Amino acid sequence: MRLLVSVRDAAEARAAIAGGVDLLDAKEPTAGALGAVSPAVFAAILAATPAHLAVSVALGEVDDPRGLARTITALPFRAGQGPCY
């Protein structure tokens, strides 16, 4: 069994890592079920996450494909990072 934990910031990410998480899911639940975190918050979550750990990120409701492409491009992915969904 693998443990997925949704986190909204770096502090929650650190707590999930200490608890043995296998996959961190970055999202902002106050923005809806698929609420996106900002690129800055995602960067802070990644900075708190060991490089080998898998991470997923919610991108919000998709109503504009070009806007979605801009959002993905703005995300601060790291070289050598584990899987990112």
Residue with tokens 């502090």: 11
Report the distance separating Cα 34 and Cα 31, nearest Å.
7
Report the distance separating Cα 19 and Cα 64, nearest Å.
37
Residue 83: per-residue pLDDT: 63
Residue 66: per-residue pLDDT: 84
- What pairs with residue 4 in β-bridges? 23
In the DSSP assignment, the letter for residue 31 is: G
For the four alpha carbons of 20, 26, 29 and 34, in that order, the dihedral sign comes to negative
Residue 20: per-residue pLDDT: 95
- What pairs with residue 54 in β-bridges? 23
pLDDT in tens, 18-61: 999 999 999 999 988 889 888 889 889 999 999 889 899 888 88
Supply the pTM of this predicted model: 0.83
